[in-house]
Chains A and B, each alone.
Chain A
């Protein structure tokens, strides 16, 4: 079965530090998608990125960057020059195909709580 491991339960950094959130996944699917979501204290999930299994290019979006390595089944997320507003719980997720024809569900990791202190 699919599994997503976020080994870091909580991380605390000081503003302007860089921080990397780790995500390791397990899947038997050859085609799959990986996601990162941010959940601030309000609770609403904020979509950050979706990456398919055939695209191993690293991606950068402002202060955010993602490193996808199929060889190690990892999809790590780095925040550069962290800010207090980055404080949230971050979830990594993996798509899982349930049935032929594309019905799928998302399997979430347990999340990493990031606290950025001023």
Chain B
């Protein structure tokens, strides 16, 4: 149980275009999902917390207009990187909060390359 999927697993896009990444909880409902970014050989940094039916809460320094988060259902959250630039190339990982305290189930990640 507690499986989180992400789609796509890899994406290459051209500079200036937008790309959408989906995060799904497959066998449980997640009222809260989290989006992390990981640059090569670095740690995971939380970008935003996404609550179903409400606006996402962004961490300091993360541009909300550039990284659009939508959490329209209890099993799906999406991250759209708008007007992508090469410096947005990174590994994006989502997680979904489980029922237990401080439980987070992580997706497999999406590797974004902006050319």
Q: A43 touches which one: B34, B45, B105, B108 (CB < 8 A)?
A: B108
* A103 and B102 contacting across the interface, CB-CB below 8 Å: no
Contacts of A63 in B (CB 8 A): none
Contacts of A110 in B (CB 8 A): 42-43
Chain B binding site: helix, strand, loop or mixed by DSSP? Answer: strand
Known: A33-B101, A44-B106. A105 touches B43 (CB 8 A): no
* B102 and A43 contacting across the interface, CB-CB below 8 Å: no
Known: A102-B101, A103-B32. A108 touches B43 (CB 8 A): yes
What's the interface size class on A, roughly? 20 to 34
* A105 and B49 contacting across the interface, CB-CB below 8 Å: yes
Could you count the A-B residue pairs with CB atoms below 8 Å apart for me: how many are there?
47
Contacts of B72 in A (CB 8 A): none
Bound-state CA distance A104–B98 (Å) is 12
What's the interface size class on B, roughly? 20 to 34
* B34 and A105 contacting across the interface, CB-CB below 8 Å: yes
Residues of B bordering A, CB below 8 Å: 32, 34, 42-46, 49, 57, 91, 93, 101-109, 111
Bound-state CA distance A33–B102 (Å) is 7
Within 8 A of B (CB), among A63-100: 91, 95, 98
Q: A45 touches which one: B45, B57, B93 (CB < 8 A)?
A: B93
Bound-state CA distance A91–B104 (Å) is 14
Residues of A bordering B, CB below 8 Å: 33, 37, 42-45, 47, 50, 52, 91, 95, 98, 102-106, 108-111
Contacts of A42 in B (CB 8 A): 108
Task: Select from chain A the residue with minimum beta-carbon distance to B2.
Answer: A47
Task: Select from chain B the residue with minimum beta-carbon distance to A37.
Answer: B106
Contacts of B34 in A (CB 8 A): 105-106
* A105 and B108 contacting across the interface, CB-CB below 8 Å: no
Known: A103-B32, A106-B104. A43 touches B46 (CB 8 A): no
